[in-house]
Amino acid sequence: MPVYAASTELDAVNEILTSVGQAAVTTLDLRNPEVSIVLTTLREQNKLVQAQGWTFNTERHYTLQPDASTKHIVYPDNILSIDANRDAHLETYDIVKRNGRLYDRYNHTDQFDNNLDCDIVWLIDFADVPAPLQIYITARSARVCAIKMVGDATLNKLLEEQEINAKSTAMEYETQQGDYSFFGFRDGENYYNSYQPFQALIR
């Protein structure tokens, strides 16, 4: 049951359906219980995988501006994680989401006088996710759906192996795209930033 390169959510849903022994569909009709389970699972796994932070959905030194009148910075809906860039705002801000906007835990306020230089992990539409990551997300979703819908140990084992292979391909893609080295990763004028143990997700 190989997983081929998906390009849309419908393509991925059909790959997952066939992986668990169900017929493919022509539309994402949520009144179909199998389609509903598969699509919900695909979107959950898409978020979980993207939340790890990959080259394609991570931006460092991204500027967010406060509203001129309220001084609030609205928390964008398509952000999975955000942090004040430590080089620009070391010991100055500690930002989190609160009431739909950014809140500074250091200064105990949701009002900002200046722009914020942030490191952001974005949630990208599935259709715009690079093919190796689409394959990984689809394979991972297929295994989860098999547990929910079938419960067959042999099928789960086969899909688990497929997921491992897909993850290896995704990691290979990431290492090529990220231009990582022994010295760390590129970051503007600081050409390399060395790995720091507390930043466990930096590859």
Structural domain boundaries in the chain: 9-52+125-193, 58-122
Single out the residue of 22, 37, 54, 5 nearest to residue 141, CA to CA.
37
154 is written with which tokens?
A: 């042999």
Give pLDDT tens digits for 32-88: 999 999 999 999 999 999 999 999 999 989 999 999 999 999 999 999 999 998 888
First to last CA, the chain: 30
Average pLDDT of 97-121? Answer: 95
Check residue 181 and give its pLDDT: 64
Instruction: Give the model's pLDDT for residue 185.
Output: 60
From the number of C-beta atoms within 10 Å of its C-beta (0-12, 13-18, 19+), residue 172 rates as: exposed
Name residue 126's amino acid.
Answer: F
Determine contact, residues 133/49, Cβ cutoff 8 Å: yes
Distance, CA of 186 to CA of 37 (rounded, Å): 40
Give which of 194, 43, 202, 37 is closest to 125, Cα–Cα: 43
Rama region for 182: left / alpha / beta (φ>0; ψ in -120 to 50; rest)? alpha
Please, what is the Cα angle at 191 between 82 and 180, to 5 degrees? 75
The span from the CA of 42 to the CA of 194, in Å, is 34
- Which residues is 117 bridged to in the sheet? 63
Least confident of 70-84, 136-150, 154-168, 172-186: 172-186
Tokens 């997952």, residue located: 16
Per-residue pLDDT, 139: 96
d(CA 190, CA 167): 30
Assess whether pLDDT exceeds 90 at residue 102.
yes
